[in-house]
Amino acid sequence: MTAPLKLSAIVATYNRREVLLSRSLPTLFNQDLPADEYEIVVVVDGSTDGTAEALRELRPACTLRIIEQPNRGLSKARNAAIGIARGELVIFVDDDIICNPEVFRCHVEAHQGQGPLVAHGAIFAAPGAPASILAHADQAWYRNYNRRLESQGGAVWPDGTYLISNSSMPRSTLLACGGLDENLLAKDDFDLGLRLWKMGVRFRYLRDALAYEFTVKSSRSFLFKEGEAFGRSEVMLCRKHPDYRTRSHLAALSETVWWRRLLRRVILQSPVSPVHLLTLPVAVCDKLCRYPAFQKAGLRLLELGRRFSELRAALKETGSWKAFQSEFCARLPVLLYHHIGPSRPGAVRGLTVSPQRFERHMRWLARRGYTGICPADWQRWRREGKGLAKKPLLLTFDDGYADLAEYAFPVLRRHGFSAGVYLVTAQMGGASDWDGVRGAAAQPLLTAEQVRYWATQGIEFDAHGRTHADLTKLSAQELAEEVVGSRDDLAALVGSPVVSFAYPYGFYNQAVVDCVRRAFDLAFIANDNNEGLNHLLTDPHLLLRTMVQTNDSWLDLESRALWGHNPLLNLRARLRLRSRLKHAASAVLGGRKRRT
């Protein structure tokens, strides 16, 4: 019986006969691992350049197996090879990769005595490759890639950057995870790495297993074909791995200012791709890339063109601009109210909004097309990228004053709005003793019965601590009791998980945020210096709110909903200051005139 091979090297190729036979394969035949311990499986994926015929004429010392199939794509080619591989380990090598003689041995040794492991070596740009802007781009990219792996000791997930070429793993592990995803047009290696990491497979960086890419791709292929594949695959990855959404470069599109978003929309929706306009300048830079100025310009043009190509492909994959915006670029204003009801003696100044004004606020928001959501809706969108209203707005109410049940909740229900109410769980049914810290009278709070009822009417109740303490002044044990205790109190009361937390007084530090992060999916701050709109990249435990003031008009409210803050307040403050300065100047000048 033939002893099992230690290693199967898988090479998928398409119309790269020359570089495969003259550059890549000779280095695989020349490994210092004994020839009877490894095999090379080459999948000819529909090549029309005579690759298969040339391969059949080779007589290497190691076993060479050839699979021919119609052009079905890289993932399907690799999976076909995995299916027939006889080695205990599988190593992937691209058809333009040149390996040092010790690469296979380094990989085999790395797996000895280990459990399931992904071993991945360094990749550099090969010297002697044809000069081009793309070759320079690859050189810079690989330099940064290797530097990052070296500093981290390997790929660090879920933020890892991972290349499948020059990577090895047990064949049994590959089969257990289902191999490569054949639906992905690109980034199938990243998807595989992410799935293996989620399975608990360890990653190990092999700094001595050196390989080199001999760049033969054209800039045009890089801009169009690869750009299209990467853009569509990025959307597919986000849908397949919702936890990856916040790490995708698509999420960054919601951060930019309004005029950049408008410009991007025009460019991405234009009938003709702007990438076509860059092909000629890139070609000129290719010819003159030996000059630093043209090299620098070419790299920028290449990066810009690839970016446009990917984004247009991502837009196509989602179906429309609106669908793309809805899936990746939603922006959420969060309005903060406290007490809704008649002004009571001793109430904290500025925290009460009259029932009449609150009714006008909700009527205005409904007419403007806003939909009141709850914190769980935002968290669901962050995870899944769907289910969010066209114009979402999150209304939040801190402290859980009893008047909400009479003056706020019925109005919300009438307009079809949901909301998030943050309760001080140990004080429910009692009074807001913490208001005394601000020199105000304590106000009655919602009872447990009221909370249970309104929780069935579309109002989401979340945690605001157990006693409304300043969390930054507590010991670790006291902090946990306040944060986790409020979550457990509320979960037991409403009979469902508690999604979010609001920091009492808006005070927090790193220890407080870390504690809250372990207990809740979301958390909200309340700080005049930190207002704005929330998006996919906003830290889910430092979500922004803007506090509605007692006398806010419809214009103030619209400003808060549009921008997440009210710039009119600053304008008014400036106008008041200017008016005071004018009065002061008039008094001074008037006094002088009288004296003269």
Residue ranges of domains in the chain:
5-217, 226-328, 334-565, 569-596
d(C-alpha 83, C-alpha 8), whole Å: 11
The dihedrals phi and psi of 220, each to the nearest 5 degrees, come to -65, -45
DSSP code of residue 269? T
Give dist(CA 356, CA 361) in Å, integer: 9
- What pairs with residue 168 in β-bridges? 91, 119
- Give the chain's mean pLDDT: 91
Q: Is 19 helix (H, G, I), strand (E, B) or coil?
A: helix
8 A C-beta contact, residue 536 and residue 336: no
281 CB-contact burial (10 Å; exposed 0-12 / middle 13-18 / buried 19+):
middle
More confident residue, 213 or 576: 213
Rounded Cα gap, residues 482 and 473, in angstroms = 12
303 CB neighbour count, 10 Å cutoff: 11
Q: In this structure, which amino acid lies at residue 168?
A: S
- Do 333 and 548 touch, CB atoms closer than 8 A? no
Q: What is the pLDDT of residue 157?
A: 84
Report the percentage of the chain scoring pLDDT > 90: 79
CB 374 within 8 A of CB 585: no
Q: What is the pLDDT of residues 430-473, one digit of tens each?
A: 999 998 777 788 899 999 999 999 999 999 999 999 999 999 99
CA 312 from chain centre, in angstroms, equals: 19
Using the structure block, give the residue that is written with the tokens 């990219």.
141
> pLDDT value at position 154?
83
Helix 74-84 and helix 188-198, axial crossing angle in degrees, nearest 10: 50
d(CA 18, CA 35): 24
Q: Say whether 334-565 and 5-217 share the same fold.
A: no
The string of pLDDT tens digits covering residues 379-436 is 999 999 988 999 999 999 999 999 999 999 999 999 999 999 999 999 999 999 998 7
CB atoms within 10 A of CB 345: 6
| C-beta neighbour count of 410 within 10 angstroms | 15
Cα torsion 541, 544, 547, 552 to 10°: value is -150
CA 420 to chain centre: 24
The CA distance from 50 to 321, in Å, is 44
pLDDT, one tens digit per residue, over 262-279 is 888 888 888 889 899 999
Whether the per-residue pLDDT at 570 is higher than 70: the answer is no
The torsion angle over the Cα atoms of residues 382, 383, 386 and 389, rounded to 10 degrees, is -40
Distance of CA 422 to the CA centre of its chain: 27
What does DSSP say about strands 392-399 and 334-337: parallel, antiparallel, or unpaired? parallel
Cβ–Cβ under 8 Å, residues 111 and 87: no
pTM attached to this predicted model: 0.86
Q: What average pLDDT does the segment 520-529 reach?
A: 91
Report the first-to-last Cα separation within the chain, whole angstroms: 120
How far apart, in whole angstroms, are the C-alpha atoms of residue 379 and residue 421? 16
Average pLDDT rounded to a whole number, residues 154-164: 82
* Tokens 């004296």 sit on residue: 595
Query: What is residue 3's predicted lDDT score, i.e. its pLDDT?
Result: 63
Cα torsion 240, 241, 246, 250 to 10°: value is: -30
How many C-alpha atoms does 259 have within 13 Å on its Cβ side?
Answer: 0
**What is the spatial distance between Cα 406 and Cα 64, in angstroms, rounded to a whole number?**
80
Q: Which H helix or E strand runs over 192?
A: helix 188-198
CB 278 within 8 A of CB 223: yes
Contact call for residues 131 and 292 (beta carbons, < 8 A) = no
Of the listed ranges 130-134, 289-293, 405-409, 587-591, the one predicted with least confidence: 587-591
**Vertex 55, ends 50 and 59: CA angle to 5°?**
150
What's the CATH class of domain 334-565? alpha beta
Answer whether residue 590 shows pLDDT above 60. no
Helix, strand or coil, per DSSP, at residue 48: coil
The full DSSP string for 198-220 is HTT-EEEEEEEEEEEE-----HH
So what's the pLDDT on residue 595? 43
Residue 589 has pLDDT above 70, yes or no: no
Place of tokens 């790299």: 299
Structure tokens at 580: 């005071």
- Answer for the pair 542, 512: CB distance below 8 angstroms, yes or no: no
- The confidence score (pLDDT) of residue 106 equals 97
Q: What residues does 211 pair with on adjacent strands?
A: 99, 123
Question: What local confidence, expressed as pLDDT, does residue 2 receive?
Answer: 56
Q: What is the DSSP string of 497-547?
A: ---EEE-GGG---HHHHHHHHHH-SEEE--BTTB---B-TTS-TTSB--EE
Higher pLDDT, 574 or 479: 479
DSSP string, 271-322: SS-TTHHHHHHHHHHHHTTTSHHHHHHHHHHHHHHHHHHHHHHHHHHHSSHH
- Cis peptide bond upstream of 158, omega within 30: yes
Class of CATH domain 5-217: alpha beta
